[in-house]
Amino acid sequence: MPATPSAAAAAASGRCPPLNAAQQRIHQAALRLFAEKDPATVQISELAAAAQVARGTIYNNLESVEALFGQLVIRLCADMSERIDRAMSGEPDPAMRLAAGVRHYLQRARDEPHWARFILRYGLTQPPLAQLWHGPTMRYLREGIASGRFTLRPGQARTAAVLVAGAVLGGFAQMQQSGASPRRIGSDITELLLLSLGLPASEALRIACARMD
């Protein structure tokens, strides 16, 4: 389900046009449904019931269920990129920004279980969702490599982003299975990621345990 060029640009920039009230209800219902089943199996009547709107409202606000999935992915990526960039706007250290980004993902997964299940289901299988890992995450990795903060070769940034993605999704699954707190799991994941990026053990532990409000 590829994104259009304009939609991909919106995700990359963190800007999407606002939704009206009916569209918000449809998108929220779609997130819950898609978290549990493949978009191709979701019926218009099912979506209307979940959103508590008339079938006509669904037809008036979307081209198809598949198109809705693509729109939802774009908005999800843009929203998460904007949240992380806003929270880290005053932090110069790419290691601190990467660590805080990981913690933001895990905290949101606890606060919004349907969102977390959606990311777990599609985060590594749907190409448009790669923007989650190739937005701020990729930028922090490249800045850290360029400054010498991370001891990786420039060509390894994309592989490192996959490593971050796998760690975050693993954290989602661990929280769902064990009920562990995002702070504890986030600290462990962050420490191990920073070690893999070349930070000394003591510094990786310090950053992993730092408060990030």
pLDDT confidence of residue 2: 43
Q: Are residues 79 and 108 in the same domain?
A: yes
Q: Are residues 51 and 106 in the same domain?
A: no
Maximum pairwise Cα distance, the chain: 59
Q: What is the pLDDT of residues 118-143, one digit of tens each?
A: 999 998 888 778 788 888 899 999 99
79-88, 106-115, 192-201: lowest mean pLDDT where? 79-88
CA-derived radius of gyration, the chain = 18
**Exposure string for 72-84, b = 16+ CB within 10 A, e = fewer:** bbbbbbbebbbbb
pLDDT confidence of residue 15: 61
209 vs 187: CA distance, rounded Å: 6
What mean pLDDT value characterizes the chain?
A: 88
Residue 59 has pLDDT above 50, yes or no: yes
Q: Band of the pLDDT at 3, cuts 50, 70, 90?
A: very low
CATH number at residue 41: 1.10.10.60
Q: Is residue 104 part of a domain?
A: yes
Residue percentage of the chain with pLDDT more than 90 = 64
Q: Are residues 127 and 34 in the same domain?
A: no
Q: Is residue 146 part of a domain?
A: yes
Q: Kindly report the pTM of this predicted structure.
A: 0.82
Taking Cα atoms as reference points, which of 115, 83, 113 lies closest to residue 100?
Answer: 83
**Cβ within 8 Å of residue 204, ≥6 positions away:** 190, 191, 192, 194, 195
Q: Are residues 142 and 172 in the same domain?
A: yes
Q: Are residues 91 and 58 in the same domain?
A: no
CATH number at residue 114: 1.10.357.10
Q: Are residues 22 and 81 in the same domain?
A: no
Structurally, the chain folds into a number of domains equal to 2
2 vs 125: CA distance, rounded Å: 12
Q: Are residues 146 and 57 in the same domain?
A: no
Residue showing tokens 């979506």: 47
26 vs 202: CA distance, rounded Å: 47
pLDDT confidence of residue 180: 84
Q: Is residue 195 part of a domain?
A: yes
User: Last residue of some domain: 38, 62, 86?
Assistant: 62
- 81-86 long-range Cβ contacts below 8 angstroms, 24+ apart: 81/11, 81/12, 81/14, 81/131, 81/132, 81/135, 81/136, 82/14, 82/15, 83/108, 84/135, 84/136, 85/14, 85/136
Q: Is residue 67 part of a domain?
A: no
What is the span of the domain harbouring residue 182?
A: 73-209
Find the mean pLDDT for residues 8-31. Answer: 76
Q: Is residue 57 part of a domain?
A: yes
Residue 53 has pLDDT above 90, yes or no: yes
pLDDT confidence of residue 124: 83
Q: Band of the pLDDT at 87, cuts 50, 70, 90?
A: confident
Number of residues in the chain: 213
